[in-house]
Amino acid sequence: MHPLLPSLAAACLYAGAATYQGLRLTQRSSPDKRLLALLGVLALFFHGGSLFLQLHDVHGLNLDFFNAASLIACAVIALTLLACLRIPVENLLLLLFPLGGLTVLAAEFLPSGTIRPIDEHPGILAHILLSILAYGMLTIAVFQSILLLLQDYQLKHKHPSGLIKNFPPLQTMESLLFGFLWAGWLLLSLSLLSGALFLDDLFAQHLAHKTILSSFAWVVFAVLLWGRHRLGWRGHKAIRWTLAGFCLLMLAYFGSKLVREFILHI
């Protein structure tokens, strides 16, 4: 089976879900959570099917730049939908559904770079899974910080939009942000540890930048969490540190992949 049909189906469902949610919020009413979840799960089903066909290679995993972006977006949306069962984070889906649609289409239609398939050794696969979960959880934290920044700005200027009026209280939004940060930091710690255990050389030429930048990101998030615990950091300071750590993490993974696959062709 060719991945074109599931890719298009996933993109259409993501677009439909985002449009429905956006229209409901602009009308200052909450979307039906069950309908939104159903659309999201169906989109994830087709997204996952498309990824399975694109990632599978006779020599290993074809985890090129756009496939990796699509896989992380799929993981982020899945984690958010699961979180919606317990905590009020469905507003994040308004940002994540378009991201899922864009990445699944990019993986299908944009040319891939030069990359060697990844050996499917269990230890390597565990490292990849932990990395994807860490990136996914910290991506959710970044989107949460963006919504928190928007909410804080509109409340201070006393012009809350329909979107903001459907948000939980500011304190709850901030607590959710640090919950995601703690989970993402712990997963990132496990990812770095598994890399040290299962990769032959973390500082090999093709891994050095990724290792160094990921370690810096780990330190940034650790300082932020320490500052929250010991100094009560919150608001704009917490958001700035979150964005700084996330930028380092994305440079570590996508920056190195972009250079290797599309510039150096290695």
Report the chain's terminal Cα–Cα distance, integer Å: 29
108 plus 177 within the same structural domain: no
Last residue of a domain, one of 57, 92, 120: 120
**Looking at the structure, do residues 77 and 186 belong to the same domain, yes or no?**
no
Q: Do the Cβ atoms of 141 and 185 come closer than 8 Å?
A: no
Please tell me whether residues 134 and 12 are part of one structural domain: no
Residue-number span of the structural domain to which 71 is assigned: 1-120
Residues 63-96: pLDDT tens digits? 778 888 899 999 999 999 998 988 888 889 999 9
Question: ∠ CA 88-129-96 to the nearest 5 degrees?
Answer: 35
pLDDT over 80 (residue 120): no
Give the pLDDT band of residue 189 (cuts 50, 70, 90). Answer: very high
Residue where a domain terminates, one of 96, 120, 144? 120
Nearest to 16, CA basis, from 94, 83, 84? 94
Measured CA to CA, the distance from residue 100 to residue 54 in angstroms comes to 15
How far from 40 is each of 10, 11, 29, 68, 263, CA to CA, in Å?
9, 11, 19, 20, 35
The domain tally of the chain equals 2
pLDDT tens by residue, 17-38: 999 999 988 887 888 999 999 9
pLDDT at 263: 57
> Looking at the structure, do residues 90 and 209 belong to the same domain, yes or no?
no
Does 59 lie in the same domain as 125? no
Looking at this protein, which amino acid is placed at residue 56? H
Same domain, 138 and 116: no
Give this prediction's pTM: 0.85
Tell me the Cα Rg of the chain: 19
